[in-house]
Amino acid sequence: MNVRCAIVAVLVLMGSVGAVWASPADLFAEANVTYDAGEYEAAITIYERFLREGFVAPEIYYNLASSRYRQGDYGQAILNLKRAQQLHPRDRDIQHNLFFILNEADAVYHVPPIWSRLLRQLTQGEWMGLATASWWLVALFGGLHLVRFRNRGWLVPVAVVAGVLLISLAGWWQWWSLGQRPEVVVIETGQEALFAPLPGSTAHFALPKGSVPRVDSVSEGWYRVRVGERDGWIQQSAVMPVR
């Protein structure tokens, strides 16, 4: 991960303005030291403390995932790596470790189409910023086009920026759609997707711990989840949402 220095710098700033802890940078460093020493439970306690206090960063989730993985908890490791990925979707370390653990856990997961994966290379905030900038550029070029007596020379930049605007809105919509039908991670062992939202219903397919299906619908304590072309019901208590 290449963001550790930035995280520590922010934590130092937080400490200098009287944040929650007297020295959050020291606390973050302590968590890393305990992790390196193999004291994973202590490291988890500190990383989770950061998250409870509202400090959310991909580095925190990444280190928490590594600690969980060292304890053999595939479900929590994958959950936290997925959360880190949503905050920093282009980080190669996150992607590599996520797929490594998914394969090691024999987990199943929903694979979105390629266009969806490409649009998720930018975060929702990045797409929104790009869409806002594109909108103002379209307005600017459109105004210049009118002022310059409809000079056709402005049509090309207007068309290019309008295309960027449309792609940006598509990227934002992709993340919005993911919020409406979120991914969840199976955190309990021995889970199966059932044909009906009833205990004892016929099992459709297995969902090993760490699996990442996507929610289709909700019904009184149950999620209807999808993995590829298969769908079934699983109790909400057996999964945790990524987003």
Please state the length of the chain. 243
The per-residue pLDDT for 208 is 95
**133-183 pLDDT, tens digit each:** 888 887 777 666 666 655 566 667 777 878 888 888 888 888 888 788 899
Indicate the residue type of 165.
L
How would you class 17 by CB atoms within 10 Å of its CB: exposed for 0-12, middle for 13-18, buried for 19 or more? exposed
Q: Class of 184-241 per CATH?
A: mainly beta
Q: What percent of the chain has pLDDT over 70?
A: 84
**71-89 pLDDT, tens digit each:** 999 999 999 999 999 999 9
The sheet carrying 214-219 orders its strands as: 203-207, 191-194, 230-235, 222-227, 214-219
Kindly state which CATH superfamily the domain 4-104 is placed in.
Tetratricopeptide repeat domain (1.25.40.10)
- Using N-to-C axis directions, what is the helix angle for 92-104 and 58-70, rounded to 10°? 30
Contact 225, 193 (CB under 8 A): yes
Question: Within its chain, how far is the Cα of 30 from the centroid?
Answer: 26
**55-75 pLDDT, tens digit each:** 888 888 999 999 999 999 999
Place 190 in a pLDDT band, splitting at 50, 70 and 90.
very high
Question: In the chain, where are the structural domains located?
Answer: 4-104, 117-180, 184-241
Q: Which of 168, 170, 160 is nearest to 138 (CA)?
A: 160
